[in-house]
A and B are shown apart, each in its own frame.
Chain A
Amino acid sequence: MKNIQWIPKVVLTLLLGLLAVVMLVPIVLTFTNSLMTEQEIGRNYDLLGQMIDVEQGGKDAFVNLKLIPDWLSFGQYAEVLVLTSKFLGMFWNSVALVVPIVAGQAVVASLAAYAFAKLRFFGRDKLFMLYLLTMLMPFQVTLVPNYIVIDKLGLMNHASAIILPGIFGAFGVFMMRQFMAHIPGAYSEAAMMDGGGAWVIFWRIILPLAKPGLAALAVLLFVDYWNMIEQPLIFLQDAYKQPLSLYLAQINKEARGIGFAASTLYMAPMVLLFLYAESYFIEGIQLSGIKG
C-alpha cells in the first residue's frame, strides 16, 4: 500500500516539473543570452522582423535561438553597468519610485479594506464598486484629466506625480478587502465582546491574519509598478529622473546586444523580493494552523 502511494506523487511532480521548465524557459534564455558576446547576439537574432529575399536563399534563413553561449562573456554586463552610466542611476530611480508606492499602498489600502470588509456603513458596496471601476480604465482615458490634476497640484516633473497616485491605487483596497472578508466574523465579534474597539480589532486580529494577503500584495504591486512605462514617460520630463523600465524599453530596440544583460539585472530585484516574501506565505500556513 505504501509503495503505491508515492507513485502519484512522483508522477505529479514530474508533470509539474515539466510545466515549470516551460514556464522558466524565457527566463533561463534571457539569463544565458546575457552571457553571450554582443556579436553572437547580433549573429543569432539579426533576422528578427526582416523579410529576406527568397531568391537569394532566404527561404532557409531563421533566427538562431541558443540556449548555451558559444563564448562565455560578461561583456554585456560590463557594458550595461559600467560603460552606460545611466543604468545604476535609473535603477535607483526605479527603487525610489516603487518602494514608497508599495509601502504606502499597503498601509492605506489595509485601512480602507478593513472598513469595506468588516464595517457596515451607508453606501459601502456602491463605493466599493467605484473603486473597482477605476481599475478598469486604461491609462489613455484618464491621461488628460490626470495631467490637469497633477499640473494643478504643481507636481509636474516630480516623483510624487507618480508616487501619490500609486499610493492611492484601488488594487490594494480590492485585494485586501477580499482577504479580510473571509476572516470569519466570529473573531471580531469575540474581540468586541471583550471591549476592543475597531482599531484594536484591526491592528491585533485582522492585520496579522491578513499577512499572506499583504505579502501577495507587496509582490504584485512591486511587479506592476516596477514595469510601468506610460506614467514616467508623460509626467517625468527630465532624463535623470527616468526609471529603469523606460531604459529597458529603449535598449531592446536600440542595442539588442546588451538587452539580455539589462533584462537580467532588471529582473533581479523582483526575484529577490519574491523569494523573501515567500517565507511570509509559509508563515501564513503556520498561523492558520495555530488558529483554533
Chain B
Amino acid sequence: MRRALTLLICCLFIFAAGCSGTGNKGMVKPDAEGKHAAGADSSDQANKQGKMNPNGMAGSDGKPKTITFSTYHYNAYYEQAKREYEAKHPDITINLEYAAKDDSDLSGQALEKFRQTTSTELLTGKGPDLIEMDWLPADKYIGRKLLVNLSSMMEQDSSFKKEQYFQNILDHANPDGSIYTIPLHFSLQALLGDKEAIERSNVSFNDTTWNWNQFTDVLKQLVQKGDYEYGYAYKAQLSFIYDMVRGNYSRLVDAENRKANFDNGLFVQLLEQTKTMEEQKIASFNYRNFKKSYFIPVDINSPGSYVSNLKHSNFGKPAYYLESKGDGQQPGGFFSTYDNLAVNANSTVKAEAWDFLKFLMSGDEELSTAQFFPISKAAYEKQVSHVLKDGVNAETGKNQNETIRVTETDLQGLDAFIAKAVNMKSDMPGEIQKIVFDETPAFFSGQKSPDAVAKLIQNKITTYLNE
C-alpha cells in the first residue's frame, strides 16, 4: 500500500515536472543566469552590407574569425559596438557572453559562476578572447601571465596613438607599469570644500600631498574656527574605515613579512578615534550634516557633474580639493575605473581582439553618452560639447528638474583636474577590505568592543597573509 502510494506520488511529480520541463528545454531564454550568446544574427547583417574594409586590422588574412567577449553584466554599448564592428569587418564574428542582466543577480550565484568558469577556462589555456575584468582578480591573472601585455601591443601598433587617450588613467590603472587592462570609463573622486571659509580660517595645507594624519589635523583646526560645525561629513562609516585603514596601511599590514599589525593598539586607537571625532565634531558620519561641514566627498562623473557639484553645493564659493593620500600613494588625485577590458594571453585571435578593443576605446558617440568619463579624449571632447550645448540636469536640490547652463569658464579647471588623477581609489587588496568591512560594523553599532573587533581582524588577516 505504502509502496503504491509513493510510486504514485513520484509519477505525479515526474509527470508535472516533465510537462513544464519540455516547455523550457527547447528555448534559450535570454534570461537572468547562464551564458548568453548574442551573436547569431550578426553575420546576416554583415553580408547585407557587403563591403570589405580591411584597413586597420592587423594581420588579417580574410579567414572568418570569432572573437568571444565575456562580461559579467550585459552592456548595451557592447552590443551596439559589436554590430557596428561586424558591419565594418564582415569576416569577424563577435560572440557576446554575459552572466547576468542588470541587477538580477542578487544572490551572487551568477557572479560566482562567472568567476569560477573564467578562471578555470583561462587556467586550461582556453577561455574568452576579450574579458571584462571589473569583477575578476586582475592582479592574480596578471601574476599567472594569463593576460596579454597591451603596452607592447600598443608599441607595435603604429595606428594606435596613446596621446588620444588619457594616459595618466591608462598608466595608473595598472600597478605594474605595463598595461594589462584598459578601462573604458573612469570617474574622479575628490573633496568639495568651502573655499571662502577655508581661506578665511588661515589654516594652511597642501591638498596635493597631504596624508591622512595631516588631513585630520587640518579638520581639527578648521572646526575650531567655527564657520562650520564639522570638518568633514562621510557618506558612510565604512568609507571612513576604508580611508583610515588605507591611510595607515603600512603600519597595519606588513605584506612582505606576512604580518598583520591590528593588535598593536593602533587599530583600536583608530577605532576609538571615530567616536572622539564625532564628539569633537571633526567628522560626522551622518550625511545630513553635509551642509554643516567644511568638506564633503564628491564624485565627478562627467563634465556635467563637475559643474553641477559646484552649482548645487550650499557653499558660498565651493572649490575642489584632492583627498588625502594613503601610504605609498602619489601626490595627486583619485579616480575609479569601469569596464576594464583585457585580452586573453592564450587567445588565438589576439590581433583581432586588440583591434576590436581599440574600436571599443574609440567609440566617440557611445562612450560620450555614458555616465562616466570616457578614456578617449575625442569622446571626452564630444561630452564637453554636448554639455555646453544642452546644459546639465540638476540632480539634487531645489531646482531638481531644471537644466543648468554650462559655459567654457565653468569647465576651465576640468582638464587639469583630470590630469592630476594618479591614484586608484580602491587599491587595497579585496580580501583585506572585505575582512575589515565585515567586522567593524559590530563596533559601530556598539555590539562589540574595539579590542574584540581588532582581535578578530588581526586573526583573519594573518590567515590571509600567510596563505
A249 lies within 8 A of B447 (CB) = no
**Is B395 located at the chain interface by the 8 A CB criterion?**
no
**Is A6 located at the chain interface by the 8 A CB criterion?**
no
> How many A-B pairs fall under 8 Å by CB?
107
A51 lies within 8 A of B117 (CB) = no
A234 lies within 8 A of B28 (CB) = no
**Is A228 located at the chain interface by the 8 A CB criterion?**
no
**Is A246 located at the chain interface by the 8 A CB criterion?**
yes
**Is A44 located at the chain interface by the 8 A CB criterion?**
no
Of the residues B7, B10, B20, B442, contact of A51 by C-beta under 8 Å: B442
Set of chain B residues within 8 Å of A249, measured between Cβ atoms? 107, 109
B13 lies within 8 A of A269 (CB) = yes
B29 lies within 8 A of A239 (CB) = yes
Distance between Cα atoms of A276 and B10 in the complex (Å) = 11
Set of chain B residues within 8 Å of A276, measured between Cβ atoms? 3, 6-7
Nearest-neighbor residue (CB-CB) of A272 within chain B: B6
Set of chain B residues within 8 Å of A53, measured between Cβ atoms? 444-446
> A89-B20, A253-B108 are contacts. A238–B34 as well, Cβ < 8 Å?
yes
Q: On chain A, which size bracket covers the interface?
A: 35 or more
B447 lies within 8 A of A92 (CB) = no
Distance between Cα atoms of A251 and B9 in the complex (Å) = 25
A88 lies within 8 A of B20 (CB) = yes
**Is B161 located at the chain interface by the 8 A CB criterion?**
no
A54 lies within 8 A of B10 (CB) = no
B17 lies within 8 A of A233 (CB) = no
B441 lies within 8 A of A51 (CB) = yes
Mark out the residues of chain A between 91 and 146 whose CB falls within 8 Å of any chain B CB in the assembled complex.
91-93, 95, 143-144
Mark out the residues of chain B between 393 and 444 whose CB falls within 8 Å of any chain A CB in the assembled complex.
441-442, 444
B275 to chain A minimum Cβ distance, whole angstroms, is 12
Set of chain A residues within 8 Å of B447, measured between Cβ atoms? 51-52, 54, 58
**Is B31 located at the chain interface by the 8 A CB criterion?**
yes
Distance between Cα atoms of A211 and B3 in the complex (Å) = 17
**Is B265 located at the chain interface by the 8 A CB criterion?**
no
Nearest-neighbor residue (CB-CB) of A94 within chain B: B17
Distance between Cα atoms of A272 and B17 in the complex (Å) = 16
Nearest-neighbor residue (CB-CB) of B97 within chain A: A237
Nearest-neighbor residue (CB-CB) of B17 within chain A: A92
A89 lies within 8 A of B23 (CB) = yes
Distance between Cα atoms of A234 and B115 in the complex (Å) = 10
- Give the contact stretch, choosing among B120-128, B186-194, B371-379: B120-128
Distance between Cα atoms of A284 and B326 in the complex (Å) = 71
Nearest-neighbor residue (CB-CB) of B443 within chain A: A51
Mark out the residues of chain A between 228 and 274 whose CB falls within 8 Å of any chain B CB in the assembled complex.
233-234, 237-242, 246, 249-254, 268-269, 272
Of the residues A89, A240, A250, A268, contact of B109 by C-beta under 8 Å: A250
**Is B241 located at the chain interface by the 8 A CB criterion?**
no
Distance between Cα atoms of A222 and B126 in the complex (Å) = 33
Mark out the residues of chain B between 359 and 383 whose CB falls within 8 Å of any chain A CB in the assembled complex.
none
Nearest-neighbor residue (CB-CB) of A58 within chain B: B445
B21, B27, B116, B442 interface centre (most CB from chain A within 10 Å): B21
A51, A91, A148 interface centre (most CB from chain B within 10 Å): A51
**Is B32 located at the chain interface by the 8 A CB criterion?**
yes
The 26 sampled A-B contact pairs (Cβ below 8 Å) are: A53-B446, A54-B445, A54-B446, A58-B447, A88-B19, A88-B20, A88-B21, A89-B20, A91-B21, A92-B21, A144-B120, A147-B124, A151-B124, A151-B126, A233-B113, A233-B116, A234-B113, A234-B117, A239-B29, A239-B32, A240-B24, A250-B107, A251-B107, A253-B106, A272-B6, A279-B2
